[in-house]
Chain A
Amino acid sequence: MVIYSFYIFDRHTECIYSKLWLPPSAAAAAAPATPATANIVTGDGAGSVTLAPRGGPHNTDRRSVKVKASDDAKLIFGTVFSLRNMVRKLGGDDDAFISYRTGQYKLHYYETASSLRFVMLTDTTTLSMRSVLHQIYINLWVEYVVKNPLAPVEHKGGDGVKNELFELGLDQFVRGLM
């Protein structure tokens, strides 16, 4: 089993946590394919930039990786949100979207009643990770993020999620599975 990446989205549809277990270039191949030279409007309003090819000037490369990562997160959210809505429309409100598979990767999805969405990308042969995502929610998220009295309730920009206990716990848990 290979786990490529993991994302958490909050009820405001924001990506509040993401983690890759492969170097970005390798994970990028596994992530939903975006054209390597997509036009992206940067946050500072500088207009559109063309993503530098890998191996370009070091800081540009890092920046583009960052832009690409947030772009991937948005794409992933858009995808799982649409799929989940479609699943409910076809299968009734109690139906749940669990996973989809492409030639390159498998995407696993788990949504809590409080509208937190957990997404994990793995290789194609991995069995259902729904219970793993559920475990991450009850054993790591609730214990280390929600019950941390100093962490905010809303995690705008990932605030309060990136604490040591949660990150260590997650990394250990996921590495234990691989």
Chain B
Amino acid sequence: MMSASKASRLGEEIWKTRIDKVNSELVVLTYGTIVAQLCKDFDSDYVEVNKQLDKMGYNIGLRLIEDYLAKSNTMRRCANFRETAEMIAKVGFKIFLNITPTITNWTSDSKQFSLVFDENPLADFVELPDDGRAQDELWFSNILCGVLRGALEMVQMQVEAHFISDVLRGNDTTEMRISLIRYIDDELPPEDD
């Protein structure tokens, strides 16, 4: 099993040598524009906006996992969900967003954990709409939940991910909760008649 420090080194190494960088303001402004447009399109129905962001993320995750596997040179599966969490936080988030969220609040069955984001490049410069509802309903970075759900599904893990707090809403931390629902079995070839 890969230890936490080894995962950090791997993430660091890939970030330094194998990643094309883009201007972070371009990312913030592009993502902000998407969220703003969704809010407009769905008439500030924030529950629906969260759903749409999650869906977009899911479609990104389905593809992004392949880039992750290629860049990280992953040749084998994680031995357990705790290792998966390490790789998500220290390699995945590191190489694609150059951040390393903190893994915390494991349940005793090792099936649920939280990622706490000390920094969130998607949310720089952002203030939620001051309409009295966005603060309670919109999860601005919800796309990340979808990305994790899509990416993990491709490596045979069905997970559920959602934010439980966000500094944009005035909370002390930005925290995402991730739960393993089940490992997905290999699909079998159709039986010959």
Contacts and interface: CB of A to CB of B under 8 A. Distances in A.
Nearest to A81: B189
Interface of A: 11-13, 41, 74, 77-78, 81, 93-94, 96, 112-115, 134, 137-138, 141-142, 146-147, 153
B66 A142 contact: yes
Contact of B70 (A77, A138, A153): A138
Contacts of B115: none
A77 B67 CA distance: 25
B74 interface: yes
Contact of B66 (A13, A74, A96, A146): A146
A156 to B, nearest CB: 13
Nearest to A114: B154
Contact of A94 (B63, B76, B154): B76
A82 to B, nearest CB: 10
B162 to A, nearest CB: 23
Chain B interface residue number, banded: 20 to 34
A134 B76 CA distance: 12
Contact of A113 (B77, B186, B189, B193): B77
A108 to B, nearest CB: 15
B86 to A, nearest CB: 15
Summarize B's interface: helix, strand, loop or mixed: loop
B69 interface: yes
Contacts of B138: none
B78 to A, nearest CB: 9
A134 B63 CA distance: 17
B127 interface: no
Nearest to B65: A114
10 contacts: A11-B154, A13-B188, A13-B189, A81-B189, A94-B76, A114-B66, A115-B186, A137-B70, A138-B70, A153-B62
Interface in B47-62: 59, 62
A146 B154 CA distance: 13
Contact of A13 (B62, B71, B154, B187): B187
Contact of A41 (B75, B187, B193): B193
A27 to B, nearest CB: 22
B156 interface: yes
Interface in B67-98: 67, 69-71, 73-77
B103 interface: no
A115 B156 contact: yes
Residue of A78, A114, A141, A146 contacting most chain B CB atoms (<10 Å): A114
Contacts of B70: 137-138, 142
A146 B63 contact: yes
Contacts of B192: 74
Given A74-B189, A112-B66, 4 more contacts: A77-B189, A96-B75, A96-B76, A114-B65
Residue of B63, B66, B74, B193 contacting most chain A CB atoms (<10 Å): B66
Nearest to B76: A94
B155 interface: yes
B68 to A, nearest CB: 9
Contacts of B186: 11, 115
B59 A113 contact: no
Contact of A114 (B59, B155, B187): B155
A155 to B, nearest CB: 12
A113 B74 contact: yes
